[in-house]
């Protein structure tokens, strides 16, 4: 049992370390920096190796940069497999590992290093494996944990995916129809150019997407007339997804502005409690201890980590507890932001896991009709709820400055 608890604790620390954007401790910050530098160095080395003179002069150095960074990607993948249960709390053991391994980022992480080693076992596929190495560039998307602007792009695409898919479907259908029409008109006049339907698809795609390479073009009057019509249609169709994405950005901006107008700042304060040797709370879970009426434990600062506690969180020696109290006058921390959900608030009726919120902000508790509720991803926010928000900047300050 003790061994299981020790492994669980190790898992938690490893997961916090490999999770991009979790910078509650210096080791987590260092790992994020090393991970980013490894990726940048690998991409720079791969680009530099394409130049003959650079490869001749610095080939050995670039080779070792590639070997070391790819080995780091492999280590990172193994650590993420070991901590899959932390990433997917609803899954256990092999199920959690399978969930991560088949996820989008799991596949990207695997392809970041596997194609590098596969040619040793399958030399015939070396060219294909080299091409697959390009997938590692998608690891750059992990840095969106540091930027709400990058997160905004993802939110827009997710919010408009139905409309975007519909527009792509329409474009695909028009390309197919245009190619068949052009093949029928031009094949007899240019049998070597419009050899088959695929040749016509290449022409239709370059024309509809307004690229126009000029390697294939109609020479008959009917074909040229058809080309003019298709070109006009292409200009209009390409504008559809652009307009959808632009509208999505405007909606996100208006949502953020509306949220800023609704937010109210109030004097919500916190009591500081240190768990010292001999404290009766040591070894007990949050749900087992009796806190004063009208109060609750909002945060647990443990070493370099900041935890949002749940009922089964065990209190340990040296923990620093941040307790919310309705009427605290001594030993207080700074104000936090309180958001009151009115009927038209965008969070009203949504689960916490589904709401749009800055990655630098955490919800630490929900006040519902005077009852303090510990937030979980499945908790649905309701009208008149008071949501208390805490920024990571404040959390980090409490970690590196003496509180007690």
**Whole-angstrom Cα distance, residue 38 to residue 114?**
16
CATH (one of 3.30.70.370, 3.30.70.1450, 3.40.50.170, 1.10.10.10) for 263-400: 3.30.70.1450
The encoded tokens of residue 316 equal: 């340990």
The encoded tokens of residue 110 equal: 């695997």
CA 386 vs. chain centroid, Å, equals 27
| pLDDT reported for residue 168 | 87
**Whole-angstrom Cα distance, residue 373 to residue 367?**
6
pLDDT, tens only, 131-141? 777 777 777 77
The domain ranges of the chain are 2-146, 161-261, 263-400
With bands split at pLDDT 50, 70 and 90, how would you rate the model's confidence at 395? very low
118-122, 141-145, 308-312 — which is least confidently predicted? Answer: 141-145
| pLDDT reported for residue 328 | 39
pLDDT, tens only, 8-57? 778 888 887 887 666 567 887 888 888 889 988 998 998 898 898 988 89
pLDDT, tens only, 46-92? 889 889 898 889 989 999 999 999 999 999 999 999 888 888 877 88
φ and ψ of 384, to 5 deg? 75, 0
Q: What percent of the chain has pLDDT over 90?
A: 7
pLDDT, tens only, 201-260? 888 888 877 776 777 888 899 888 988 888 888 888 778 888 888 888 888 777 666 555
**Whole-angstrom Cα distance, residue 178 to residue 130?**
36
The answer to whether domain 2-146 has CATH 1.20.120 is yes
Q: What percent of the chain has pLDDT over 70?
A: 77
CA 98 vs. chain centroid, Å, equals 19
| pLDDT reported for residue 144 | 59
The encoded tokens of residue 300 equal: 């647990």
pLDDT, tens only, 263-311? 444 444 566 678 887 777 887 887 777 666 556 777 788 766 667 776 6
Dihedral of CA atoms 341, 347, 349, 352 in degrees, nearest 10, equals -110
- For domain 161-261, the CATH class is mainly alpha
């Amino acid at each position: 049992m003790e061994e299981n608890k020790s492994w669980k604790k190790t898992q938690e620390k490893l997961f916090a370390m490999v999770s991009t954007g979790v910078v509650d401790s210096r080791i987590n910050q260092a790992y994020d920096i090393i991970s980013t530098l490894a990726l940048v160095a690998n991409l720079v080395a791969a680009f530099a190796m394409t130049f003959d003179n650079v490869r001749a002069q610095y080939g050995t150095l670039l080779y070792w940069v590639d070997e070391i960074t790819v080995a780091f990607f492999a280590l990172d993948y193994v650590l993420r497999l070991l901590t899959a249960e932390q990433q997917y709390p609803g899954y256990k053991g092999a199920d959690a590992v399978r969930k991560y391994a088949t996820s989008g980022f799991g596949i990207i992480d695997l392809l970041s290093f596997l194609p590098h080693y596969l040619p040793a076992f399958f030399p015939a596929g070396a060219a294909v494996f080299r091409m697959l190495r390009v997938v590692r560039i998608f690891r750059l998307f992990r840095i969106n944990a540091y930027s709400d602007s990058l997160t905004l792009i993802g939110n827009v695409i997710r919010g408009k995916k139905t409309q975007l898919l519909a527009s792509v479907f329409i474009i695909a259908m028009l390309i197919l129809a245009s190619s068949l029409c052009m093949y029928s008109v031009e094949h007899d006049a240019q049998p070597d150019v419009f050899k088959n339907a695929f040749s016509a698809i290449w022409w239709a795609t370059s024309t509809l997407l307004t690229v126009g390479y000029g390697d294939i073009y109609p020479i008959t009057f009917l074909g040229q007339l058809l080309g003019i019509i298709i070109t006009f249609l292409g200009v209009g169709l390409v504008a559809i997804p652009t307009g959808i994405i632009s509208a999505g950005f405007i909606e996100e901006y208006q949502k953020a502005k509306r949220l800023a107008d609704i937010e109210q700042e109030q004097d919500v304060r916190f009591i500081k409690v240190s768990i010292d040797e001999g404290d009766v709370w040591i070894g007990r879970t949050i749900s087992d201890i009796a806190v004063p009426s009208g109060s609750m434990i909002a945060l647990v600062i443990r070493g370099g980590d900041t935890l949002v506690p749940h009922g089964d969180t065990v209190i340990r020696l040296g923990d620093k507890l941040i307790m919310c109290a309705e009427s605290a006058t001594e030993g207080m921390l700074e104000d936090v932001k309180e958001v009151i959900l009115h009927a038209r608030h965008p969070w009203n009726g949504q689960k916490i896991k589904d709401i749009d919120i800055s990655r630098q902000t955490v919800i630490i508790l929900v006040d519902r009709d005077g009852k303090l509720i510990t937030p979980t991803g499945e908790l649905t926010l309701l009208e008149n709820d008071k949501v208390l928000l805490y920024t990571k900047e404040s959390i980090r300050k409490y970690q590196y400055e003496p509180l007690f």
